[in-house]
Amino acid sequence: MQTVRTIEEVRSIVRSARLDGKGIGFVPTMGYLHRGHTSLVEHSKKLSGFQVMSIFVNRIQFNDAGDFSRYPRDLERDLAVARDCGVDLVFAPGDDEMYRDRRTFVDMELLTDHLCGAHRPGHFRGVFTVVSKLFNIVLPDVAVFGQKDIQQAVSLEKMVMDLDFPLKIVIAPTVREEDGLAMSSRNKHLDPDERRRSLCIIRSLRMAEGMIASGERSARKILSEVKKELSTGRPDKIDYASLVRYSDLQPADEISERSVLAVAAFFGPTRLIDNMIVEEREGKFSCVY
Amino acid sequence: MQTVRTIEEVRSIVRSARLDGKGIGFVPTMGYLHRGHTSLVEHSKKLSGFQVMSIFVNRIQFNDAGDFSRYPRDLERDLAVARDCGVDLVFAPGDDEMYRDRRTFVDMELLTDHLCGAHRPGHFRGVFTVVSKLFNIVLPDVAVFGQKDIQQAVSLEKMVMDLDFPLKIVIAPTVREEDGLAMSSRNKHLDPDERRRSLCIIRSLRMAEGMIASGERSARKILSEVKKELSTGRPDKIDYASLVRYSDLQPADEISERSVLAVAAFFGPTRLIDNMIVEEREGKFSCVY
């Protein structure tokens, strides 16, 4: 595995891999790798012969400077994890390599109005901008994102379509702890009590799955029960519990062909998110979370 | 020369050219080609082996629907001109191929605040968005833009740097009619009287060049004389006559290392622009226009 700090080195190494006839897979991360990230690399390996991972805590997507400085970092450990799961090239740039006198940004209407977009002003602009840069640097054939950050994944699919990036976005299912908590670098901030209480999130998704299996389609009814279940974990704040269409992430009154049920809640100062994709196939609804 | 309508065809033809070992040159246009455009292709041919030209009147960069519908179009003649100057591939998409349910946009702070950016709200966002799409579709090694649209050219250089597009922007000098009027598709709208009066623009640039050669450095003094000279042509409106730094297109009090003197004025309903790049080399100032 090679580890580089500069854009120029990435370009030269990726060019060689391409000349060797290899397809390029790409997993962008902010580091502090866990099994969620390594599962993205596993997905990417099925689709391409050369694995690139970026590790970069992207300052411009944090709307809260405290959240940025608190974001956990451990590059040495990350490099060992990346090597173990078969990454070929890690790009770990410094702030200066990525942002000098930056004036250009990429942004999106509609898809970022609700869910996390409504609660983290500027967050998605920062994500779209850095991911556009990374796509132009790595020029991958496939880029893999996790379902856990569903608004990010769906809106990046839209960005790739709208701006004609020559690559395919793949969304890989959420990886969970044994008790159901979605893997996240932020989980380490939870104290034992918060960690226990946070399980109300997975309980609320399972409960919604049950209601849908029993034929319930009304967003109002499902969300009312989801919020009830969430409150059993006494979250410090529920940012949202929403049902939206997958296509444009706008609120829906009913479960439709393809919907997303998404929740965000604070446990102490730590904000956790999770979601479930509900899809209709031949009249049957399946839930992926 | 091949002419195609779809993104998929462009990708496949460019891929073949690349496999033949050719570098890709790109000249994006809105058609109604004149010698200004063919000169861009000539520049591109010096730098690359395969010439792509796009012809697309980009609705989203017009802040005025009338201006969009009035914009001259003649695809058949354009294709003959493109063939004659050695273009290998013309991409002439319809609106539907470029814009379906578009939500993503590319925009920039600072560089678009003044000059045309101040007078055409949304214009540059439309330019950055379509050019990003075209870059992702064509994947050129070099893209050539005309100096006449200086704010566009300089801010696209900035966009390429900020978003790490893997290509080089080249700015080619303005091509002029024999009497000095900058070539533009809009010139055809000028009636004989407006055409005659429009020559005050080139006179004003030449006068500024003379002042700078005589040692004048003050923006205030130079612009005051430029406006006087412009008014001898009785323009229907002067949008601006400005001196800005090349680096960030912000107003400057004095001629510095690299400055731009830019003017925009209406003759009848037709808005004309022109400019001059002033550069210091070894203590001497040279003017390119």
Distance CA A124, CA A234 (A): 28
| Euclidean distance between CA atoms A131 and A162, whole angstroms | 14
Taking the C-alpha atoms of residue B25 and residue A1, their distance in angstroms, rounded to an integer, is 35
Q: Alpha carbon of B120 to those of A212, B60, B116, B206, B264: distances in Å?
A: 51, 12, 6, 27, 12
| pLDDT confidence bin for B119, thresholds 50/70/90 | confident
Confidence of residue A64 (pLDDT cuts 50, 70, 90): confident
Range A41-53 average pLDDT: 98
User: In terms of C-beta density within 10 A (0-12 exposed, 13-18 middle, 19 or more buried), how is residue B59 classed?
Assistant: middle
| pLDDT of A63 over the 90 cut | no
Residue B63 has pLDDT above 90, yes or no: no
Q: Which of A129, A137, A158 sits opposite B103 (nearest CB)?
A: A158
Mean pLDDT of A97-104: 95
Contacts of B161 (CB under 8 A, 6+ apart): none
pLDDT at A283 over 90: no
- Evaluate whether B230 touches B265 at the Cβ level (below 8 Å): yes
Which pLDDT band holds residue B221 (cuts at 50, 70, 90)?
A: very high
For residue B250, give both structure tokens. 């912000």
pLDDT at B16: 98
pLDDT value for A25: 98
What pLDDT does A119 receive? Answer: 87
pLDDT at B158: 97
Q: Residue B67: what pLDDT?
A: 86
Q: Which tokens in the block code for residue B94?
A: 């319809």
For residue B283, what pLDDT band results from cuts at 50, 70 and 90? confident
Q: CB-based contact (8 Å) between A108 and chain B?
A: yes
Angle (CA) A28 A129 A30, round 5°: 30
Q: C-alpha distances in angstroms, A61 versus A67, A123, B14, B78, B263? A: 10, 4, 35, 44, 38
Report ipTM (2 d.p.): 0.94
**Residues A128, B104: C-beta atoms closer than 8 Å:** yes
CB spacing of A105 vs B107 below 8 angstroms: yes
pLDDT of residue A239: 95
**What structural domains and CATH numbers belong to chain A?**
2-172 (3.40.50.620), 185-284 (3.30.1300.10)
Instruction: Kindly state the tokens that stand for B185.
Output: 């598709």
Task: Kindly state the percentage of chain A with pLDDT values over 70.
Answer: 100
* Cβ contacts of A103 on chain B, cutoff 8 Å: 108-111, 158, 162, 248
The token duo for A143 is 């880029």
Alpha-carbon span B136 to B140, nearest angstrom: 9
Interface with B, mutate which of A18, A54, A104 (most B CBs under 10 A): A104
Q: What is each CA distance from B121 to A55, B102, B113, B196, in whole angstroms?
A: 37, 19, 10, 30
Q: Does pLDDT of A172 surpass 90?
A: yes
In tens, the pLDDT along B162-217 reads 999 999 999 999 999 999 999 998 999 999 999 999 999 999 999 999 999 999 99
Q: What is the pLDDT of residues B90-108, one digit of tens each?
A: 999 999 999 999 999 999 9
CA–CA gap between residue B91 and residue B2 (Å, rounded): 9
Residues whose CB falls within 8 Å of the CB of residue A8, separated by 6 or more in sequence, listed in order: none
Q: Do A136 and B163 touch (CB under 8 A)?
A: yes
CB B154 within 8 A of CB B146: no
Alpha helices (runs of H) in chain B, residue ranges in sequence order: 7-19, 35-47, 65-70, 75-84, 95-98, 115-119, 123-138, 150-163, 192-197, 200-213, 219-231
Cβ–Cβ below 8 Å for B132 and A163: yes
pTM: 0.96
Cβ atoms of B50 and B95 within 8 Å: the answer is no
Q: Which B residues 148-177 touch A at CB under 8 Å?
A: 158-159, 162-166
Touching check for A114 and chain B: CB below 8 Å? no
Q: DSSP label at A182?
A: B
Cβ pairs bridging A and B (under 8 Å): 73
**The pLDDT of residue B69:** 92
- Confidence category of residue A15, pLDDT binned at 50, 70, 90: very high
**pLDDT tens per residue across span B224-266:** 999 999 999 999 999 999 999 999 999 999 998 899 999 999 9
Q: What count of residues does chain B have?
A: 289
Q: Give the pLDDT confidence score for residue A145 in this predicted structure.
A: 98
Q: How far apart are CA B95 and CA B83, in angstroms?
A: 23
Q: Is the pLDDT of residue B1 over 90?
A: yes
List the beta bridge partners of residue A52.
Answer: A26, A89
Q: What is the pLDDT of residues B122-175, one digit of tens each?
A: 999 999 999 999 999 999 999 999 999 999 999 999 999 999 999 999 999 999
Q: Which residues of B touch A104 (CB under 8 A)?
A: 106-108, 128, 158-159, 162-163
Angle in degrees, 0-180, between the axes of helices A7-19 and A123-138, rounded to the nearest 10: 50
Residue A51 pLDDT > 90: yes
At residue A223, the 3 state secondary structure works out as helix
Q: Are strands B24-29 and B142-146 parallel, antiparallel or unpaired?
A: parallel
On the question of pLDDT at B64 being above 90, the answer is no
Q: What is the mean pLDDT of the segment spanning A42-68? A: 95
For residue B37, indicate whether it is catalytic. Answer: yes
pLDDT above 70 as % of chain B: 100
Task: State the helix-helix crossing angle for B123-138 and B7-19, rounded to 10 degrees.
Answer: 50
pLDDT digits (tens, 9 = 90+) for A232-271: 999 999 999 999 999 999 999 999 889 999 999 999 999 9
Encoded amino acid at B270, one letter: T
Instruction: Check whether A206 has a pLDDT greater than 90.
Output: yes
